[in-house]
Amino acid sequence: MQKKRLIFNRARHSISPKTKPRAKLALPSKKLFIGLLGLSLLLIGAAALLSRQEDPQLSAAKNSMPIWNGSFSGKTVVIDPGHGGIDPGAIGVTKVKEKDVNLPVALKVKDLLIQAGVNVIMIREEDRDFGSSSGASSRKREDLAHRTKVVDDANADIILSIHCNSYPNKNTRGAQVFYYKGSPLGPEAAEAIQDRLNQVTGRKRVVRPDNFYMLRNTQGVALTVEIGFLSNPEEEKKLVDSDYQNQIAMAIALGVADYFEK
Ligand SMILES: [Zn+2]
* pLDDT per residue as tens, the chain (262 positions): 444 333 333 333 333 333 333 444 444 565 655 565 565 655 555 444 444 444 555 554 544 455 566 678 899 999 999 999 999 999 999 999 999 999 999 999 999 999 999 999 999 999 999 999 999 999 999 999 999 999 989 999 999 999 999 999 999 999 999 998 888 899 999 999 999 999 999 999 999 998 877 777 777 899 999 999 999 999 999 999 999 999 999 999 999 999 998 8
225 CA from centroid of ligand 1 (Å): 9
Same domain, 46 and 77: no
Same domain, 50 and 69: no
Rounded CA gap, 122 and 11, in Å?
A: 29
163 CA from centroid of ligand 1 (Å): 4
Number of domains in the chain: 2
68 CA from centroid of ligand 1 (Å): 29
83 CA from centroid of ligand 1 (Å): 6
Q: What is the domain range of residue 76?
A: 65-261
Same domain, 51 and 150: no
Which residues fall within 8 angstroms of residue 132, CB to CB, at 6 or more apart?
139, 142
In 3-state terms, what secondary structure has residue 208? strand
162 CA from centroid of ligand 1 (Å): 7
Rounded CA gap, 197 and 228, in Å?
A: 10
Instruction: Return the CATH number at 241.
Output: 3.40.630.40
In 3-state terms, what secondary structure has residue 124? coil
88 CA from centroid of ligand 1 (Å): 8
Give exposure, 218-250, as e/b (b: 16+ Cβ within 10 Å).
bebbbbbbbbbbbbbeebbebbeeeebbbbbbb
Same domain, 125 and 38: no
**Domain-embedded: residue 215:** yes
Q: Which residues surround ligand 1, an ion (CB under 5 A)?
A: 82, 89, 163
Q: How far is CA 104 from the centre of its chain?
A: 8
Same domain, 132 and 159: yes
What is the pTM (predicted TM-score) of this model?
0.75
Give 3-state DSSP helix, strand, coil % of the chain, rounded to 5.
45, 15, 40
Q: Which amino acid is at 228?
A: G
Rounded CA gap, 235 and 116, in Å?
A: 29
Rounded CA gap, 35 and 91, in Å?
A: 46
186 CA from centroid of ligand 1 (Å): 19
